[in-house]
Amino acid sequence: MENAFTRRLYDASPVFLQHLFTSAYGWKKRADRYGTHYRRYRAFFQESFRWPRERLQRHQDAKVAETVELAYRQIPFWRQRLDRLGLRPSDIASVADLPKLPLLEKSEVRQAGTAMLAAGFPRRMLHRATTSGSTGFPLTNYWSTEALQRDFGFDWARRRPGVTRRDRYGTFTGLQIVRADSLRAPFWRFNWPGHQVCFSIFHMTPRTLPAYADQIINSGLSYLEGYPSSLAVLARFLLQHGIAPPPLKAVFVTAEQLLPEQRASIERGLGARVWDQYGLNEKAASITEYACGHLHYDMDYGVIEFIPAGRDEEGEPLHEMVCTSFDNRAFPLIRYRVGDLAVLADPAVGCDLCAGPIVRRIYGRTAQVLLSRDGRRITNMSVIAKRCAHVEAMQCIQTEPGAVDICVVRGEGFLPEDEERIVREFQKKMGQIDFRIRYVSDVERTPSGKFLSIISRLAPVACDPADGGL
């Protein structure tokens, strides 16, 4: 929805007109996303999927050199940054040269604003999105049409196994398409030209879920796409009520960290394989789950430097992901500090399907980590949640190093012993910290409806940019 006026108009319209509005919006989106760039990049990413590691590395080096050269010539922000360090663009000719540049913090991007846009790309020609993120500070990203279509080319070349653009599908994302105070179905709107049913994730309650289930079963959908937290709610409802899922080909999850218990619920309740992926709103990096079952770092999409960032609670080395984008000539990001963490597989483990390094786990989005008093980083809440009975949902919020608020949505049969158990489990994992249990009717979500199991409001911990990477 474009502005406050169209939002008011949309909200005041009857449901049928809203279907027309969402369809018109879908029509425009389709024109933006699918064009010549889309077709070119789709073919490219189909081919580059089979490239060996050396070819991927050569491609990355060439793209890094091209990006830095363009940024230096077209964008004052980047020219000043290199000049201040006494660097010429030719000094950054490969991935190995990137550490000569400092990390790019989100706060710098926010302050620079349009000073980071390349000459020759008027703002009205760009696509943009403003995210508030978990830190609550708005950040605007810009993409050229080429970068936008490239991303969709990648999606359809690599992230949509077994389905086509002609298939009907349902989405569960943060689109506000149903008025917040609406109590009656339909809690979804159609995008007819896009073969899409957009479900509202903001209206899913035990009272409304039967209507969602009916719609899912009767819509003839081939696949679902959306936030794992919302899809898991739907899947658990079907399971609890013994409702057979519709014959779906796949479920594609996006935007949130996929928790193991969510994957299990979705696959059982919706009867289809879950495909995970990690992308950024900034379109700077990509990690995709492929048919082999691994998550692979997509080296042909952009550069990810994996910078050592301590260990998690199980002693696994953590890496902070620092990203450099390709092919977004309007708004290149170089050594962009996303804040998300990854655990890498043993580099000796290879895969016959894809040459990109295997990533075992991703902890996103944006520093979803609790910090214990002794500096350990606690990332994996799902282990604790599994051990605590009678809990519908749990979310941890840390605002100071020695304290954590545990927000609990109580389930049926919750007892005082359950509270003791929760505190005990946390103490086992994190040591002595002030744990404050707060009972809430629902967990906190980001403005776009995303669920974060951990919300950290601590300042990000410094990481050492000189400390190598992959």
**Is the Cβ of residue 139 or residue 157 nearer to Zn ion in the bound state?**
157
Q: Which stretch binds Zn ion (CB under 5 A): 4-12, 235-243, 289-297, 411-419?
A: 289-297
Amino acid letter, 446 = T
251 neighbors 276 (Cβ within 8 angstroms): no
The yes or no reply on residue 236 touching Zn ion (CB under 5 A) is no
378: Cβ contacts below 8 Å, ≥ 6 apart:
312, 313, 369, 370, 371, 372, 429, 430
Question: For the packed helices 76-84 and 53-74, what is the interaxial angle rounded to 10 degrees?
Answer: 100
- Contacts with Zn ion in 60-79 (CB under 5 A)? none
Among 51-59, 248-256, 350-358, 443-451, the segment contacting Zn ion (CB under 5 A): 350-358
Pick one of 351, 393, 409, 461: the residue that binds Zn ion (CB under 5 A): 351
Query: Which CB atom, from 243 or from 470, has the smaller least distance to Zn ion?
Result: 470
Smallest Cα–Cα separation from 21: which of 143, 189, 205, 140?
Answer: 189
Nearer to Zn ion, 333 or 354 (CB): 354
Q: How far apart are CA 437 and CA 431, in angstroms?
A: 16
Residue with tokens 């911990």: 461
How many residues bind Zn ion (CB under 5 A)? The answer is: 4
State the nearest-atom distance from the C-beta of 250 to Zn ion, in Å: 18
Could you tell me which of 342, 364, 338, 377 has the C-alpha nearest to residue 451?
Answer: 364
Smallest CA-to-CA distance from 345 within 385, 287, 261, 300 is with 287
Region of 209-217, 225-233, 236-244, 294-302 interacting with Zn ion (CB under 5 A)? 294-302
CB of 347 to Zn ion, least distance (A): 13
**Of 119 and 292, which has the nearer Cβ to Zn ion?**
292
**Minimum distance of Zn ion from residue 235's CB (angstroms):** 26
Burial track 307-326 (b if 16+ CB lie within 10 A, e otherwise): bebeebeeeeebbbbbbbbb
List the interface residues with Zn ion, window 358-417 (CB under 5 A): none
Give the nearer residue to Zn ion in terms of CB position, either 43 or 292: 292
Nearest distance from C-beta of residue 53 to Zn ion, angstroms: 13
DSSP string for residues in 339-390:
EEEEEEPPTT---SS--SPEEEEEE-SS---EE-TTS-EE---HHHHHHSTT
| Pick from 374, 368, 369, 410: nearest CA to 391 | 410
Which segment (185-193, 216-224, 299-307, 343-351) binds Zn ion by CB under 5 A? 343-351
Q: Which of 12, 119, 264, 292 binds Zn ion (CB under 5 A)?
A: 292
Contact flag: residue 294 with Zn ion (CB under 5 A): yes
Closest approach of Zn ion to the CB of residue 314, in Å: 23
Nearer to Zn ion, 342 or 433 (CB): 342
At its nearest, how many Å lie between Zn ion and the CB of residue 292? 3
**CB of 359 vs Zn ion, minimal distance in Å:** 10
For Zn ion, the closer of residues 335 and 361 by Cβ is 361
The two tokens of residue 444 are: 């906190």
Of 63 and 294, which CB lies nearer to Zn ion in the complex structure?
A: 294
State the Cα torsion 128-129-133-137 to the nearest 10°. 70
**Binding residues for Zn ion (CB under 5 A):** 292, 294, 351, 353
